[in-house]
């Protein structure tokens, strides 16, 4: 079985366990990690002694903070094929998770962002905790929600997914469940017992057996802020342009609306327009594969986009949190600026 210091593989009873092991980097994904996870999932899937797979992150701060954005930034600057290779293999892994033949139990404890959402929310048994902070924060770094998020977010109730995609704000357990990105909440101190209980199931255990077991340990996730504010979210985010959404927000009262509008105002104008267009395209797409193909094409465009390099610089490299977007305003982003992200990547990831 493949292994690396960055991924710990274990067999325990009837469970195959995959532990992301870059806690100092919040378990951010590298290409070797993606390759190990994909290989191990194939092996566990073919092993009759394995009833289910459990995926978790090492350390107490997070499950997975996403892809290693520094490496993608460096690849783009150098003009190497590293970023494209990473995205292709990561997206194939996301698709494989969505179709995995055995219960795929993911413990989304702590920070679960970007690529971490791709590793988790496509799975069949998605567990959050009181420490979960889930987000697709890409509009804040000149990027867009990828890893199949343009399939997942449009399927959240009402316009909750549009709110998540444009603001990039982190949400907790209740909101993740409300948005359809998680299934139930288990208290973080109970996770070791949950792992042991799943591992103790017989090799013949079904997906429903695993689901029923998780339910016995589930706790109330509390109140969902997205659910409480659903009416205003649905009204304000129904527009098909970012300008319409901001205009609608301006006509709504309340602290939640003010916070939302303020956050969007600080995001990359290009990323906002690209994200909304991708989300609306995802709403009418036939399947996840179609969205992943479209996202890969947009990824290739991102490598030639100023805001990606500026956003990563401000957030990750210099950490001054003061990106200088170009174009600097929504009104300066022309339709053609967004059209160029919709050139299909060749070869496509999937034939749909």
List, for residues 239-275, the tens digit of each pLDDT value: 999 999 999 999 999 999 999 999 999 999 999 999 9
pLDDT of residue 3 exceeding 90, the answer is: no
- pLDDT value for 32: 95
- pLDDT value for 313: 96
Q: Which of 62, 76, 115, 311 is catalytic?
A: 115
- pLDDT value for 1: 42
* Cα 110 → chain centroid: 14
Question: pLDDT averaged over the chain?
Answer: 96
The whole-angstrom separation of Cα 316 and Cα 140 is 11
pLDDT of residue 279 exceeding 80, the answer is: yes
Strand-pair category, 104-108 with 52-57: parallel
**Considering the chain, what percentage of its residues have pLDDT values greater than 90?**
97
Q: Please write the tens of the pLDDT for every residue from 316-349.
A: 999 999 999 999 999 999 999 999 999 999 999 9
Is residue 115 part of the annotated active site? The answer reads yes
The residues with which 2 forms a beta bridge, in sequence order, are none
pLDDT of residue 76 exceeding 70, the answer is: yes
- pLDDT value for 4: 66
Q: Please write the tens of the pLDDT for every residue from 7-49.
A: 999 999 999 999 999 999 999 999 999 999 999 999 999 999 9
Tokens 């300008």 correspond to 243
Mean pLDDT along residues 159-178: 98
Q: What single DSSP character describes residue 275?
A: H
Q: Which of 6, 109, 146, 159 is catalytic?
A: 146
Q: Please write the tens of the pLDDT for every residue from 101-159.
A: 999 999 999 999 999 999 999 999 999 999 999 999 999 999 999 999 999 999 999 99
Is residue 13 part of the annotated active site? The answer reads no
Give the count of alpha carbons within 13 A of 330, CB side only: 16
Q: Which of 6, 90, 109, 138 is catalytic?
A: 138
Q: Which of 57, 62, 67, 142 is catalytic?
A: 67
Is residue 251 part of the annotated active site? The answer reads no
The whole-angstrom separation of Cα 259 and Cα 347 is 41
Is residue 196 part of the annotated active site? The answer reads no
Mean pLDDT along residues 268-284: 98
Hey, what are 77's tokens? 């600057």
Mean pLDDT along residues 177-184: 98
- pLDDT value for 332: 98
- pLDDT value for 2: 47
Q: Please write the tens of the pLDDT for every residue from 289-304.
A: 999 999 999 999 999 9
Q: In angstroms, what CA-CA distances link 185 with 109, 191, 210, 229?
A: 10, 10, 15, 21
The candidate with the shortest Cα–Cα distance to 309, out of 324, 329, 328, is 324
């Amino acid at each position: 079985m493949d292994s690396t210091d960055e991924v710990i593989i274990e067999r325990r009873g009837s469970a195959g366990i995959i532990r992301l092991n870059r806690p100092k980097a919040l378990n951010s994904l590298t290409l070797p990690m993606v390759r190990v996870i994909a290989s191990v999932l194939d092996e566990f899937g073919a092993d009759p002694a394995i009833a289910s797979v459990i995926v978790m992150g090492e350390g107490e701060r997070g499950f997975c903070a996403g892809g290693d954005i520094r490496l993608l930034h460096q690849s783009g600057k150098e003009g190497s094929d590293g970023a494209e290779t990473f995205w292709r293999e990561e997206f194939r892994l996301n698709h494989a998770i969505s179709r995995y033949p055995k219960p795929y139990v993911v413990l989304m404890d702590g920070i679960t962002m970007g690529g971490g959402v791709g590793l988790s929310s496509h799975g069949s048994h998605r567990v959050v905790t009181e420490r979960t902070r889930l987000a697709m924060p890409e509009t804040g770094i000149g990027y867009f929600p990828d890893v199949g998020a343009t399939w997942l977010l449009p399927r959240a109730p009402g316009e909750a997914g549009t709110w998540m995609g444009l603001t990039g704000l982190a949400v907790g357990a209740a909101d993740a469940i409300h948005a359809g990105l998680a299934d139930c909440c288990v208290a973080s101190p109970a996770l070791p017992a949950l792992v042991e209980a799943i591992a103790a199931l017989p090799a013949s255990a079904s997906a429903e057996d695993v689901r029923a077991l998780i339910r016995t340990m589930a706790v109330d996730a509390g109140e969902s802020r997205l659910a409480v504010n659903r009416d205003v979210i649905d009204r304000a985010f129904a527009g098909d342009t970012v300008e319409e959404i901001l205009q609608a927000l301006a006509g709504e009262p309340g602290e939640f609306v003010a916070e939302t509008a303020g956050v969007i105002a600080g995001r990359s104008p290009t990323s906002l327009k690209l994200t909304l267009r991708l989300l609306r395209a995802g709403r009418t797409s036939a399947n996840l594969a179609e969205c992943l193909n479209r996202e890969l094409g947009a990824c290739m465009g991102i490598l030639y986009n100023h805001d990606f390099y500026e956003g990563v610089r401000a957030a990750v490299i210099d950490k001054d949190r003061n990106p200088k977007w170009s174009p600097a305003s929504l009104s300066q982003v022309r339709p053609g600026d967004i059209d160029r992200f919709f050139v299909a990547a060749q070869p496509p990831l999937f034939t749909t």
